[in-house]
Amino acid sequence: MLAPAARAYALEFPQWGHRKIAALMRADGHHAPESTVLRALRDAELTLPAGHQRQSRRLAGARREAFLEPPTRRNRVWQTDFTELETSGGGTWQISPVCDYVTKLSIACPVTATARWQDAVAALQDARATVAALLGCSLLEDCTDPDTGEITPVIVVTDNGSCYKAAAFERYIASRPELTHVRTRNKQPHTNGVVECFNRVLKYEDLYRDLPADGLDLTLRAAAHRDLYNTIRPHEHLAWARPLETFLAEPSATTPTRQAEQIA
């Protein structure tokens, strides 16, 4: 029966709502309409009260990106940021995810003690290495038209933090023909939406539920969450697909998406 299976999925992934549970069940071969899953979880008292998400959605608001024409394939726009977390042991650590805009893939998610330009560069280096491992070719090769040799660099979108404004960071970007850099408008929060979403999900679906004890624990937890986020967690903006499978699809294929055709 569907109800016991839905309860089992909800207990395994208590951080997710009924829609993601239903999508995950369908991906695993179950016939799982959202309404039926919701009813089963309500009967088992495994849902939150009505209206619980209203305020968080209002606070999230509409995101505005730093470009007018949204990309349609992987490795056209990356977003990166630093977010801070204080562990239960009292230490404060910096998390620096790098996310692909179109496929939502979390390409890198290093944990460091500082948020300097060196740490920002290291996050991009991690991301470049991850792309090479996943695709079997360098990021530069993936950004190069095989017929014309033209390079379409990845736009790295950041906020206006001092590490991203540092001359050394700009020199690193300039040294990589496959990268270019755009900063969001000054004093305009919530304009780097994909990576901000990843940070929010990382914290509210994982870290805040049971704070890591120290930096090593945080590093392990962030890595485990990144794997879950990329390979298991269904994403509504990808028509319930997973980021990794979307990223690995041929670039000529249409990426399933519920995003608007133009970001406003």
Domain residue extents for the chain: 1-50, 77-248
Q: What is the pLDDT of residues 119-134, one digit of tens each?
A: 999 999 999 999 999 9
| Phi and psi at residue 233, to the nearest 5° | -65, 120
Taking residues 211-221, report their average pLDDT: 97
Write out the two tokens for 117. 């330009």
Residue that wins the pLDDT comparison between 25 and 56: 25
The amino acid sitting at 223 is A
**Six token digits for residue 202:** 């990382």
Residue 111 sits at φ, ψ, to 5 deg, of -115, 130
In this predicted structure, what is the pLDDT of residue 255?
55
Quick one: pLDDT at residue 17? 87
Q: Which helix (H) or strand (E) holds 86?
A: strand 83-86
Tokens of 212: 């890591």
Burial class (CB in 10 A: 0-12, 13-18, 19+), 212: buried
Structure tokens at 198: 């990843």
Instruction: Give the rounded percent of residues in the chain with a pLDDT score beyond 90.
Output: 74
The upper half-sphere exposure of residue 84, i.e. CA atoms within 13 Å in the direction of its Cβ, equals 7
Of 3.30.420.10, 3.40.50.300, 3.90.1150.10, 3.30.830.10, which CATH number belongs to 77-248? 3.30.420.10
Q: Show the tokens assigned to 147.
A: 């017929």
pLDDT over 90 at 104, yes or no: yes
Q: 157-194 pLDDT, tens per residue?
A: 999 899 999 999 999 999 999 999 999 876 555 568 89
Whole-model pTM? 0.77
* Per-residue model confidence (pLDDT) at position 76: 95
Give me the pLDDT at residue 258, please. Answer: 45
Q: In angstroms, rounded to a whole number, what is the distance separating the alpha carbons of residues 152 and 29?
A: 39
In this prediction, residues 233-251 reach a mean pLDDT of 93
Gap between the Cα atoms of 154 and 76, Å rounded: 5
